[in-house]
Structure 1
Amino acid sequence: MSGLGSSGTPSSSTQPSDNPYHDPSLTPRVQPHTHDPTLAWQMMRLNVEQFLKRIEPQAHDVPKPDGHIRMVCISDTHNRTDHMEVPPGDILVHAGDFTNVGLEGDVRRFKEFLAKLPHKHKVVIAGNHDLTFDLDNYDTLCKTFASHGHHDLLDAKKCRNILLDAGVCTYLEDSEVTIEGYRIYGSPWQPEFCNWAFNLRRGEKCLEKWDLIPEGVDILITHGPPVGHGDLCSSQLRAGCVDLLHTIQTRVKPKYHVFGHIHEGAERRKNPLLDLNLQPSDLHLNAYRSLPGSTAQVLKVCKTPAPTACLKLLYNSD
């Protein structure tokens, strides 16, 4: 098949033989331009069908449809939950960065915040700011962020256990849980980003983590976005992961992908709430943003390619 021009019309200038994006079976394991996500997205949006469709927001007081399960998604709250009015629902998802730098007091406040929420199920992953949750790298992170309260080596396990042992949520780290019949997988990793927690080199190192995501997952939660979706920084460069997008669209194909991380990549709306109402044959998302810098974003992998005009920030499918 030929490529698509900027208008969405076929272009004959790029032939399958010289375009590695056309046939996934012919692409290398690590995607082309994976170390330059801005260039990679420019190429991919022209030459790769994007199986995405936008979710339209609605007010949080819209009644839940009969026979549905309501999921509320939040992310990047950064210890700013004191005045956050989280709408009720059946499942709460937090896509990471619930603290500023993972200090014990921050973790404890987040635990208390979760304990007050009425949701029957609460699923949490860590993000790059939750330093003490990255046990393998905390010794290095402690030195890097000494001026942010880590001047003394904290007991990282103790900080994690404040949340993990409290019984207020299900914490996922390269692991999954089944809730109300839906398989939910969570991973905190993202490509290198200012030497924070859960950072990995682009390419093979990131792909090793994405390889752990099992097929058949209904809802995928990662802290970082895939390239091209909610990942545009104020510098106008993209921070999303090229290999994550490829993994989602060609192998895992979850019903939904929930993520956060890039604050400026989140689109602001008059109605900051999207409902995710789940039933056996359909999913409908509820991403809640109540504070500047607090954002959850959602991607949907559809059965058929979405029109170019639908390549926006939040997605759903028929």
Structure 2
Amino acid sequence: MSRSDANWCAKFHRLFACHVSNVSENANSKIEFTEASEFGLSVHPLTESPSKAWRKCKKKQKSVKLENFTPGGPVEDDKVRVVCMSDTHCKTSIMPFDVPSGDIFIHAGDFTNSGSLDEVVEFNEWLGTLPHKHKIVIAGNHELSFDPTFTRRLESYDFAALRFDRDQIEKVNNLKNIKQFLTNCDYLEDSMVERFGLKIYGTPWQPEYGGGAFNLPRGRPCLDKWNLIPEGVDILVTHSPPLGHGDHCWPGVRAGCVDLLVTVQERVKPKYHVFGHVHEGYGVTTDGNIIYMNASSCNLRYLPVNRPIVFDIALPNCIAKTLFSK
């Protein structure tokens, strides 16, 4: 690593440790070989080959690993503390750690194994025990019952890889209005809430990768969902990682979405991007402008060993959070 790269890395480690909410430096990370149109960004030419796309993108990209620093002590009056988790897979009762307190709790999907009613009710009850004033949840590919488009033939599934059996899938496919049982959170699905003046947008979709709920072919189907994300979002929550950040999975391939990366960097430009899905990708990275967080709690063996990722974010115009009654 060169001296300049070392200085750059040190700067952004301090950025994450101090939880600065806005980065002014331009890291020259724009991907120049995508074209914009009046309807949004076009499909990336290498969208079908994420590993190949990253080999080309990284020539102009920075993806620097940051220390997962958990702030301690009281939160300043003009900031809120955000606690992020993902991919807990019904393992909250055996986590070897407590969930840190904070103002906002975010779960980026895969809170169940298959989206059964018992699993959803159990997760909702667990949410009710958390002290956070606001709780934000999206679904992931394991929440089969949450996706009304999940109609693929049973014969097309690799049940061993998905840890589902045929009876499991048939059962959850017959569940109706399952989202009504999430009473202890704001459930987001291509939608946004504003909490403490912060805009938080959530979307469950991801490129096809092993099957499951909210799976879409890479390219236009995924990009159409990303085009729904509004500009001006402070915290973006997706189940899928963007290409190059928290998406490096065993055995050494990339699983992230390049069209999501371009959307995030060139149009939406959130302060923070929270996601999960790729268990091996747990951790925090930055491109110099945005902080990316793969908050997967479970590792590759589905053991809940990864601690929640916590950060403090400044409120708009330095308004004191005590002014927000809701």
1:162 aligns with 2:173: no
1:82 aligns with 2:98: no
Seen in structure 2, the aligned counterparts of structure 1 residues 139 and 35 have a Cα distance that, compared at 3 Å, is closer
Paired with 1:26 and 1:121, the residues of 2 have a C-alpha distance of: 36
Paired with 2:57 and 2:115, the residues of 1 have a C-alpha distance of: 36
Seen in structure 2, the aligned counterparts of structure 1 residues 175 and 59 have a Cα distance that, compared at 3 Å, is closer
Equivalent in the alignment of 1:177? 193
**Residues 190-205 of structure 1 aligned to structure 2 (within 5 Å):** 190-205=206-221
Residue 137 of structure 1 and its aligned partner are, at CA, apart by 1.4
Residue 83 of structure 1 and its aligned partner are, at CA, apart by 3.6
Letter of the 2:54 counterpart: W
Residue 53 of structure 1 and its aligned partner are, at CA, apart by 6.1
Do the aligned partners of 1:134 and 1:198 also contact (CA within 8 Å) in 2?
yes
Residue 146 of structure 1 and its aligned partner are, at CA, apart by 4.4
Q: Deviations over 1:27-65 (max 9, x none)?
A: 98111211000010010001x344x66543334644433
User: Which of 231, 246, 250 is equivalent to 1:215?
Assistant: 231
Q: Deviations over 1:206-244 (max 9, x none)?
A: 000000001111111000100111111111111000100
Equivalent in the alignment of 1:118? 131
* Partner-residue secondary structure (3-state), 2:58: helix
Residue 139 of structure 1 and its aligned partner are, at CA, apart by 6.5
Residue 264 of structure 1 and its aligned partner are, at CA, apart by 1.0
1:249 aligns with 2:265: yes
Equivalent in the alignment of 1:40? 53
**Residues 8-87 of structure 1 aligned to structure 2 (within 5 Å):** 21-22=31-32, 24-25=34-35, 29-46=42-59, 48-50=60-62, 55-59=66-70, 61-84=72-95, 85-87=98-100
Q: Deviations over 1:233-282 (max 9, x none)?
A: 111111000100000111111111100000011249xxxxx9xxxxxxxx
Do the aligned partners of 1:86 and 1:288 also contact (CA within 8 Å) in 2?
no
Seen in structure 2, the aligned counterparts of structure 1 residues 234 and 290 have a Cα distance that, compared at 3 Å, is closer
Residue 91 of structure 1 and its aligned partner are, at CA, apart by 0.3
Paired with 1:45 and 1:285, the residues of 2 have a C-alpha distance of: 16
Paired with 1:110 and 1:87, the residues of 2 have a C-alpha distance of: 17
* Unpaired stretches in structure 1, ≥5 consecutive residues: 1-6, 9-19, 269-273, 275-282, 299-318
Letter of the 2:137 counterpart: V
Do the aligned partners of 1:259 and 1:297 also contact (CA within 8 Å) in 2?
no
| Superposed CA RMSD | 3.3
Paired with 1:211 and 1:285, the residues of 2 have a C-alpha distance of: 19
Seen in structure 2, the aligned counterparts of structure 1 residues 64 and 242 have a Cα distance that, compared at 3 Å, is same
Do the aligned partners of 1:184 and 1:220 also contact (CA within 8 Å) in 2?
yes
**Residues 138-157 of structure 1 aligned to structure 2 (within 5 Å):** 138=151, 140=153, 144=157, 145-147=164-166, 149-152=168-171, 154-157=173-176
Residue 151 of structure 1 and its aligned partner are, at CA, apart by 3.8
Normalising by structure 1, what TM-score?
0.73
Seen in structure 2, the aligned counterparts of structure 1 residues 152 and 125 have a Cα distance that, compared at 3 Å, is closer
Equivalent in the alignment of 1:262? 278
Do the aligned partners of 2:50 and 2:254 also contact (CA within 8 Å) in 1?
yes
Equivalent in the alignment of 2:324? none
Letter of the 1:177 counterpart: V
Letter of the 1:75 counterpart: S
Seen in structure 2, the aligned counterparts of structure 1 residues 179 and 153 have a Cα distance that, compared at 3 Å, is closer
Letter of the 2:243 counterpart: V
Residue 159 of structure 1 and its aligned partner are, at CA, apart by 2.6
Seen in structure 2, the aligned counterparts of structure 1 residues 67 and 148 have a Cα distance that, compared at 3 Å, is farther
Paired with 2:231 and 2:34, the residues of 1 have a C-alpha distance of: 17
Paired with 1:90 and 1:141, the residues of 2 have a C-alpha distance of: 42
Residue 153 of structure 1 and its aligned partner are, at CA, apart by 5.7
Paired with 1:286 and 1:243, the residues of 2 have a C-alpha distance of: 18
User: Which of 99, 103, 109 is equivalent to 2:112?
Assistant: 99
Seen in structure 2, the aligned counterparts of structure 1 residues 286 and 22 have a Cα distance that, compared at 3 Å, is closer
* Partner-residue secondary structure (3-state), 2:149: helix
Q: Deviations over 1:129-148 (max 9, x none)?
A: 11101112156579845436
